[in-house]
Structure 1
Amino acid sequence: MVTINMAYTSPINPPGATPLLTQDQVWAGLKRKVHHPSDFVPVITACEVVSEEGPEDGFKIVRRVTFVPGFKDHGDTVEETCLHYPPSRVDFHQPDGSSVANIVSRGADDELLLTFSFQWRHPSVEPGSEQAKEIEDKYWKMAPVAVNGSIEGIRRLVREKKV
């Protein structure tokens, strides 16, 4: 089994970005992303919320998401547990132990940043194999698309006054 751990960060408000997003708007967008992931993540084609609990320390939402064929090596539909840690983090946990954290933070100059931290588990892949390298390369190409796509999705929703 191979586990690929990686993280990717982008500025939320780079030069020229309009409208400028606040942390509250980004948080509202990340909460929406749990219920409507295909608005942000092109590899997810469907989502069904199975249950919602909270808000003791945040919210817990269990959802069933369908990925484009071939994205996951053990099936296209996965039940995820989504944990909210307001106002800065949402964690997505999958049954195979894979997880993704969406983290809103601030940099040295107080700029807002969005980081996705990934832990992808592939039980059928040998560590150090060519297949493991190809999968890791695929994830490095996907990471900026996921982070920047989420930022731009939130920006679009702010323009449309949906968050």
Structure 2
Amino acid sequence: MVILYQSQTLPINSPSASPTLSIDEVWEVMLLKCRKPELFVAPMSSSAVIEETPTFMKRSVTFKEGMGPPGGEVIEELQIRAPWKVDFYNLNSGAFINNTVSQGKDETDLYLTFYFEWPYPDMQEGSKEAKEMSDKLWSMAKKTVQHTIDYARDMAKEAKLGKGLEH
């Protein structure tokens, strides 16, 4: 059994980024990501919210053919801590993902971190297969964090934020 760990942090408002995003705008996009993960994670094709409260969500996620687990569908429970973090628990595989927004020196100095724990029960620790999968997941993590930031910025440019898009 191998558990592969990944973590990626990127600045949300780099010096060249325009427009500058607020925590409220970023959080709106994070809630959209909870409800519509297929807009943010390439292997996912669809999702449905099963249950929801202000601090909890249960959802089903369907993956594109050959890109997800056997059967192509998983159930996830999300712990939501507005406006800073969401913890995702995959009830099928035991995978854990955390998305955290952090603030630096001021209210526009924001960072987005995605942390992953991926269990692989049939993989051997230190194997070539584990190394290749770790590299693949690392690449996916970086792309997903950047895509989420880019998506948020594009929505801001199109004046789509602040209109309740997360529902």
Same fold (TM over 0.5): yes
Residue 125 of structure 1, CA deviation: 1.3
Aligned 8 A contact 2:11 2:111 in 1:
yes
Aligned partner of 1:161 among 155, 159, 162: 159
- Indicate yes or no: 2:48 matched with 1:52: no
Helix, strand or coil for the counterpart of 1:14? coil
Q: Which residue of 1 aligns with 2:4?
A: 4
Residue by residue over 1:24-65, the C-alpha shift from the partner in whole angstroms, topping out at 9 and shown as x without a partner, is 110111011111112222221111111112x3xxx2111111
Q: Secondary structure at the match of 2:17?
A: coil
Q: What letter corresponds to residue 86 of structure 1 in structure 2?
A: A
Residue in structure 1 matched with residue 22 of structure 2 by the alignment: 22
Query: Relative to structure 2, which stretch is displaced further, 133-142 or 37-46?
Result: 37-46
Residues in 1 aligned to 2:34 and 2:43: alpha-carbon distance in whole angstroms: 14
Letter in 2 for 1:157: M
Map of 1:117 onto structure 2:
115
Shift of 1:73: 4.3
Question: Residue 14 of structure 2 aligns to a residue in which SS?
Answer: coil
Does the Cα contact within 8 Å between 2:60 and 2:76 map onto a contact in 1? yes
1:143 counterpart = 2:141: yes
Q: How does 1:46-85 map to 2 (within 5 A)?
A: 46-53=46-53, 55=54, 59-85=55-81
Q: Report if the CA contact (8 A) 2:2-2:120 is conserved.
A: yes
Q: Is the 8 A contact 1:11 1:114 kept in 2?
A: yes
Kept after mapping to 1: 8 A contact 2:21/2:153: yes
List per-residue Cα deviations over 1:122-154 (Å, max 9, x = no partner).
112121111111110001111110000001111
Q: Is the 8 A contact 1:73 1:122 kept in 2?
A: no
TM, length-normalised to structure 1: 0.90
After superposition, the Cα gap between the structure-2 partners of 1:93 and 1:33, relative to the gap in structure 1 and judged at 3 Å, is same
Please report the TM-score for the alignment, with normalisation by the length of structure 2.
0.88
Distance 1:118 1:145 in 2: 13
Paired residue for 2:164? none
CA RMSD of aligned residues (A): 1.4
Amino-acid identity (%): 38
**How many residues matched?**
158
